[in-house]
Amino acid sequence: SNVFNKKEFVSNVKDNLKNLYRKTLDEANQQEIFQAVSTTVKDEIMDRWLATQQTFEKDDPKTVYYMSMEFLMGRALGNNLINLCAYKEVKEALEELGLDLSVIEDQEPDPALGNGGLGRLAACFMDSLATLGYAAYGCGIRYRYGMFKQKISDGFQVEVPDNWLKDGYPFELRRPEYCYEVRFGGNVRPEYGEDGSMKFVHENYQSVLAIPYDMPIVGYDNNVVDTLITWDAQAKEVFELDSFDKGNYEQAVAQENLARNLVEVLYPNDNHVAGKELRLKQQYFFVSASIQRALARFKKHHDDIHDLPEKVVFQMNDTHPTVAVAELMRILVDEEGLGWDDAWNITTHCVAYTNHTIMSEALEKWPIEIFQRLLPRVYQIVDEINRRFLIEIENRYPGNEYKKQKMAILWDGQVKMAHLAIAAGFSVNGVAKLHTEILMNQELKDFYDMYPQKFNNKTNGITQRRFLAHANPLLADWVTKHVGKGWITDLSQVAKLAPYAEDPKEQQEFMEIKRKNKIRLAKYIKEHNGIEVNPDSIFDVQVKRLHEYKRQLLNILHVMYLYNQLKSNPNMDFYPRTFIFGAKAAAGYRNAKLTIKLINNVAEVINHDPDIQGKIKVVFIEDYRVSNAEWIFAAADVSEQISTASKEASGTGNMKFMLNGALTLGTMDGANVEMYDEVGADNIFIFGMSAEEVIAHEQHKDYNPMEIYNNDPDIHKVLNQLIDGTFSANDKELFRDLYNSLLSNQGGKIADRYFILADFRSYANEQQKINSYYRNRKAWAKSAILNVAHVGKFSSDRTIQEYVDDIWHLDKITVKMDR
Ligand code: 26Q
C-alpha cells in the first residue's frame, strides 16, 4: 500500500515550506526542511488519528491510561515513517530532491521526557499498544526541559539544559479545549447542609490550569493512532485585577510562578529519590488532570459511574503516579457523591501498579508534613485509607503490631507510596521473573502473604520497530530476506533464523552487516570524539545510566587490569578491543560523576600509549540518548550487562543488544536470566555471584573486600593505580573516593556494597573467553545469529499482550479507512 504518492509528497513538502517560512526549497535550511517534511507526515497521520478517534466513539472500547512521570520517546519522524510503511518511499522521494533523509531526521531534537529504563519502557509500550490495536492514552508531563544534554569537558560531565521546544515541535497538538483545574494548598472545612448532610469544602487554595498536548502514537500498518497526552501548566486568568487590591495581585503572581515552575524540568534522578516538594506537585498535577480527562471521556458514553472498571484502567508506572489512588477516591466521594465503600470498590478495580526497583534509595516516601500541606483533602483520604487498611491487617493478623508497623501506609511521619499502591491496586507486577520472585519472597513478602492473588510478573520487552527496523536497516533486510516481513509485528518469527546460524555464507553476510554498522559508529566516534577506532576490533559496549549498582566501575577497572597485562606482556594473546561507554550521571551523584572522569582519564592514557599498539581503545560517547543508542546497539559485538545480581529489576538495553546480534556478558540478574534461558549457555557469557548469594552476604554482613585486595596482586595493583597518579598525574587524590568506596565503610555505606571485587575474577575470566571465542569467526557468527533467533520473547508486543490478557482486559479495535 502506497502511503505517499512521491510526486504529491514532494509538492506537499514544498507547499509546507512556503506556508511555514515563505521559502523555496533552495532557500530553506535543513531545520526548516525537517519541519516541512514532518508537517507533511503529520498531515498523513491526522486522517488515521481522526479515524481512530471515531472508532473509539463508535465502539467505546475499554481504555488503558498509562500513567507515567516519564516517556522517553526519542525522535518521531523516522519512527512514524517506519510505522506508516513509508520510510523507503520517502527516502527516495527526498533523494530525488537532492535531500538526505537521515540528515533531515538528525534535525529533530530527541524528545527526552524521561531518564532511562522506566521512561523508555513507557515509550515502547505505547508503540506496542497502537500496533496491537488497543485503545490507550499515555499520560505524562510536557517538561519544558527534558533530560539534560551531557557535555564532556576535561573528562568531566557538564549538564546543559535541553531546550527541546525551541524550534517548535511538529508532532504535537495543543488542546486547550480539554483543560482542567488542579488545586494545591489551602485548607478543608466541613460544611453542613440543612438536611443534616455534610461535605468538605476546599478553600484558600492555589490553582493552575492543566493544558493537554496530544502526540500521535502511530501503530504499525494498521491505521491505529493512539495518543500520548503531555500536560502543560498555565496560570488561571485572574479577572478584574483591581490595582489597589494588593492581595489579589500577589495571588495572581503566585499562580503564575506555580504554573511556570511546575513543568519546568524533569528530575534527572534515575533509581534515586529526591524528596523535593516540587516533585510531589508535578505528580499530583498530571495525575489529577489525567483522571479528570479519563472520567470526562467515560461520561460521554455512560451515566453510571459504577461501570468505570469495565471501561477504564489506570496503570501506574512505579509509585510516581500513586497519588492517583487518593485523587480518584476524592473525585468519587466529593464530586460524584458516592459513599466510601462504593468509591473504594470502584477505585480498587481501576488501578494497577508496576514496581521497577528493589533499591531502598528509590522507594518513595513523603514527609506527612509536606503531603498534608500541599494536598490537604487528598491527605485526609490517604489517612482514611490507612485507617481502614490497618483494621484489615488487624483482622487478618490479630494483635500483630509488627505487621502493622511494617505495612502501614502512614508511618514514622511518612506516606509510603508503594504501600498505598499495593493496598489499592488490583494488580502488582514486577518487570522480570527474578525481580518478581524477589518482590514476593523478600521485599514485599508481607504484602504477598496477605494478597497473593494481586502479584504477577510481566517481563519487560522492547519494540523491534524502532530498535531493529529503524536502527539497523541492513540487518532488518537480512532478517526479512530469510523469514519474511512478519517479524515486524510478530517477533517470535525470528526463530526461523536458527537454521541459518550454521550456514557459512550467512555467517559471513551477518558479519559483514555488523562490520558496516561498526564503520557507521566509528565515523560517529571520529566526528564526535576525534578518536580513531578499528572496525575490526571487538566492540565491547556498556551504555546505560551511570549508577554504582550497574558497575561501570567494574568494567573500567578491568580495562585498567588488561592494560597492565598488556604492558608487561606485549605479546600476550589479545584480540584488539574497543571499550565503548555511554552514560549520564544524576547531577548530584558524586561517585557516578567521578566514574565518568575515571573512564575518560583511562581513555586518555591508554589511547595514547604507543606500547599498546592500538590494541585497546576506550571511548566515552558524549550525551548517550535514544537517537545515538540506535546506532550503538547495531554496532555492538559484546553487550555489558554486569549489575550486581538482584539489583537490576529487568534491564531493557540487554534486549536491544540481543536483537542486534551482540553477545551478552552479564550476571544472572533481571531479564538476563530469561535471556540465558532463551539463547542457551553456549551463546552468552555469565559470571559472578547469584542474587541469592548477594542477598545472603547482605543479610550476614560477612563480605570483606579488603581480604580480596590483600590476596590478589592484580586487583591490588589496579586499586592502587586509583591513588598513585597513573590516571590522574596532576591530582593523585582525584579518585580517592572511588578507592575508598571499595575498601572502607564510610557514613553508613559499607565497603564495596556492590561486590565489584568479589566478582572481578570471574568477570575477567569470561572476558578472556570472549577474547578466544571471537577468534573463531564462525562460532562467533553462529552465536550472534542465534541471539537474534532467540530474541522473540523480548518484544514489548509480547509484554503488552500479557498485560492485556492478565490485567487490563482491553478490547481490540479495527480502524477502517477508505483510501
Ligand atoms: C523518584 C522520586 C524523585 C525523583 C526521581 C525518582 C525516580 C525517577 C526515575 C525514581 C526512579 C526512576 C527510574 C527508575 C528506572 O528507570 N528503573 C528501571 O526500570 C526499567 C524498566 O522496568 C528496568 O528495566 C530497570 O531494571 C530499572 O532500573
790 counts as catalytic: no
Note whether residue 724 is domain-resident.
no
Which residue's CA is the nearest one to ligand 1's atom 25?
A: 651
Using the mean position of ligand 1's atoms as its centre, give its distance from the Cα of residue 310 in Å. Answer: 30
Q: Which atom of ligand 1 is nearest to the CA of 121?
A: 21
Q: What mean pLDDT do residues 383-400 have?
A: 98
Task: Please name the residue whose Cα sits nearest to atom 6 of ligand 1.
Answer: 273
User: Do residues 424 and 478 both lie within one domain?
Assistant: no
- 118 falls in which pLDDT band (50, 70, 90)? very high
- Specify the pLDDT at position 1: 53
**CB of 270 shorter than 6 A to ligand 1:** yes
Q: How far, in Å, is the centroid of ligand 1 from the Cα of 357?
A: 7
* Same structural domain, 102 and 122: no
Strands 414-416 and 365-367: antiparallel
Nearest atom (ligand 1) to Cα of 431: 22
Could you tell me if 530 and 619 lie in one domain? yes
Residue 105 DSSP code = H
114 with 104, same domain: the answer is no
In a domain, 728, yes or no: no
| In a shared domain, residues 411 and 531 | no
CA 115 / ligand 1 centre spacing (Å): 8
What residues have CB less than 8 Å from 353, skipping those under 6 apart?
315, 316, 319, 322, 418, 421, 422, 425, 427, 428, 429
Distance 549 CA to ligand 1 centre (A): 13
Residues 362 and 421 in one domain: yes
- CA nearest 236: which of 201, 211, 272? 211
Q: Which residues lie closer than 8 Å to 420 by C-beta, 6 or more apart?
A: 319, 322, 325, 326, 382, 385, 409
DSSP string, 11-40: HHHHHHHHHHHS--TTT--HHHHHHHHHHH
Instruction: Look at residue 259 and give its three-state secondary structure.
Output: helix
- Ligand 1 nearest atom to the CA of residue 460, by list position: 22
For the chain, the domain total comes to 3
Nearest to 537 by CA among 626, 641, 613: 613
Q: pLDDT, tens digit, for every residue of 173-217?
A: 999 999 999 999 999 999 999 999 899 999 999 999 999 999 999
Ligand 1 pocket, mutate which of 70, 356, 417, 799 (most atoms under 8 A from CB): 356
**List of residues 6+ apart from 314 with CB closer than 8 A:** 64, 65, 67, 291, 294, 321, 324, 328, 350, 351, 352
CA-wise closest residue to 645 among 690, 585, 711? 690
Q: Is 364 in the pocket of ligand 1 (CB under 6 A)?
A: yes
Ligand 1 atom nearest the C-alpha of 319 is 1
> Who contacts 407 (Cβ-Cβ below 8 Å, separation ≥6)?
389, 393, 419, 446, 447, 450
Is the distance from CB of 80 to CB of 171 less than 8 angstroms?
A: yes
Q: Ligand 1 pocket test: which of 115, 353, 673 has the largest number of ligand atoms within 8 Å of its C-beta?
A: 115
Would the CB of 359 count as within 6 Å of ligand 1? no
8 A C-beta contact, residue 701 and residue 694: no
> How far lies 239's CA from each of 243, 250, 251, 252, 530, in Å?
12, 13, 12, 10, 58
Using the atom order of ligand 1, give the atom closest to the CA of residue 648: 26
656 catalytic per annotation: yes
**Residue 249 has what pLDDT?**
81
Q: Which DSSP helix (H) or strand (E) runs through 286?
A: helix 277-301
Contact 161, 144 (CB under 8 A): no
Q: Are residues 417 and 501 in the same domain?
A: no
- The residue whose CA has the least distance to atom 10 of ligand 1 is 271
Q: Whose CA is nearest to atom 19 of ligand 1?
A: 118
629 inside domain? yes
Measured in degrees and rounded to the nearest 5, phi and psi for residue 166 equal -65, -35
> What is the average per-residue pLDDT within 643-668?
98
Phi first, then psi: give them for residue 210, nearest 5 degrees.
-100, 120
What are the φ and ψ backbone dihedral angles of 219, each rounded to 5 degrees? -75, 160
Residue 285 in grid coordinates = 498535577
Mean pLDDT score of the chain: 97
Centre of ligand 1 to C-alpha 117, Å, is: 6
CA atoms within 13 A on the CB side of 301: 17
Question: What number is the average pLDDT over the span 703-731?
Answer: 98
Catalytic residue among 656, 782, 790, 793: 656
Model pLDDT for residues 673-691, shown as the tens digit of each residue: 999 999 999 999 999 999 9
Specify whether 652 is catalytic.
Answer: yes
Cβ of residue 315 lying under 6 Å from some atom of ligand 1: no
Q: Find, among 649, 661, 640, the residue nearest to 791 by Cα.
A: 661
Model confidence at 354: pLDDT above 80: yes
Instruction: Indicate if 121 and 26 belong to the same structural domain.
Output: no
Show the cell assigned to 342.
462504593
What per-residue confidence (pLDDT) applies to 202? 96
Residue nearest to atom 1 of ligand 1 (CA): 273
359 and 480, same structural domain?
Answer: no
Element (H, E) at 449: helix 445-450
As a whole number of angstroms, the distance between CA 593 and CA 553 comes to 11
299: annotated active-site residue: no
Secondary element (H or E) of residue 579:
strand 577-582
- For residue 52, the CA-to-ligand 1 centroid distance in Å is 32
Q: Which ligand 1 atom is the nearest neighbour of the CA of 651?
A: 24
Question: Is the CB of residue 115 below 6 angstroms from any atom belonging to ligand 1?
Answer: yes
State if residue 653 touches ligand 1 by the CB under 6 angstroms criterion. Answer: no
Report the nearest atom of ligand 1 relative to the CA of 652: 24
- Residue 526 placed within a domain: yes
647 lines ligand 1 (CB under 6 A): no
Helix (H), strand (E) at residue 325: helix 324-330
Q: In whole angstroms, give the CA distance from residue 487 to residue 176.
A: 40
For ligand 1, whether the C-beta of 431 sits within 6 Å is yes
Which of these is catalytic: 311, 544, 584, 617?
544
Instruction: Please give the number of the atom of ligand 1 that sits closest to the Cα of 272.
Output: 10
CA dihedral for 297, 303, 305, 308, sign (positive or negative): negative
| C-beta of 236 in contact with ligand 1 (< 6 A) | no
Name the residue type at position 220.
Answer: Y
User: Ligand 1 center to residue 325 CA distance, Å?
Assistant: 20
Specify whether the CB–CB gap between 431 and 459 falls below 8 A. Answer: yes
| Domain-embedded: residue 813 | no
Contact predicate 101/353, CB 8 Å: no
Active-site option among 149, 545, 577, 584: 545
How many angstroms is it from 589 CA to the middle of ligand 1?
15
d(CA 329, CA 295): 12
Report DSSP state, residue 795: B
Of 356, 435, 577, 782, catalytic = 356
Neighbours of 589 (CB within 10 A): 20
Query: What SS3 class is residue 152?
Result: strand
Shortest-distance Cα residue to atom 4 of ligand 1: 273
Q: What is the DSSP letter of 71?
A: B
Q: String of b and e for 518-528 (b: at least 16 CB within 10 Å)?
A: bebbbeebeee
Q: Which residue among 55, 652, 664, 726 is the active-site one?
A: 652
Q: Is 498 left (phi over 0), alpha (psi -120 to 50) or beta?
A: alpha
User: Is residue 168 one of the residues assigned to a domain?
Assistant: yes
Is it the case that residue 274 has pLDDT exceeding 90?
Answer: no
- 395 phi and psi, to 5 degrees? -65, -35
For 437, which DSSP code?
Answer: H
Helix (H) or strand (E) holding 233: strand 225-235
Q: Are residues 384 and 524 in the same domain?
A: no
Burial of 439 from C-beta contacts in 10 A (0-12 / 13-18 / 19+): buried
Q: Is the CB of residue 618 less than 8 Å from the CB of residue 755? A: no
Confidence of residue 760 (pLDDT cuts 50, 70, 90): very high
Q: Report pLDDT digits (tens) over 804-814.
A: 999 999 999 99
Q: Is residue 258 part of a domain?
A: yes
pLDDT digits 0-9 by tens, 277-335:
999 999 999 999 999 999 999 999 999 999 999 999 999 999 999 999 999 999 999 99
Percent with pLDDT over 70 in the chain = 99
pLDDT at 240: 58
Report pLDDT for 316. Answer: 98
Is 271's C-beta closer than 6 angstroms to any atom of ligand 1?
A: yes
Task: Note the ipTM here.
Answer: 0.99
| Domain at 559, CATH number | 3.40.50.2000
Q: Does 137 have pLDDT greater than 60? A: yes
Per the CB < 8 A criterion, the answer to whether 112 and 143 are in contact is no
**Does residue 732 lie in a domain region?**
no
Q: Measured between alpha carbons, how far is 162 from 164 in angstroms, rounded to an integer?
A: 6
Give residue 347's domain range: 60-75+110-460+802-808
**Residue 730 pLDDT level (bands cut at 50, 70, 90):** very high
Pocket perturbation via mutation, ligand 1, pick of 271, 277, 675 by most ligand atoms within 8 A of CB: 271
Q: How many angstroms is it from 122 CA to the middle of ligand 1?
A: 11
Q: Is there an atom of ligand 1 within 6 Å of 357 CB?
A: yes
Substitution candidate for ligand 1 out of 70, 270, 319, 462 with most atoms within 8 A of CB:
270
For the Cβ of 279 lying below 6 angstroms from any atom of ligand 1, the answer is yes
> What is the 147 CA–ligand 1 centroid distance (Å)?
14
Ligand 1 atom at shortest distance from the alpha carbon of 275 = 3
Does one domain contain both 83 and 146? no
Counting ligand 1 atoms within 8 A of each CB, the residue from 70, 113, 118, 652 with the most, and so the one to mutate, is: 118
For the cut 60, the answer to whether the pLDDT of residue 532 exceeds it is yes
Kindly state whether residues 787 and 650 are assigned to the same domain. Answer: yes
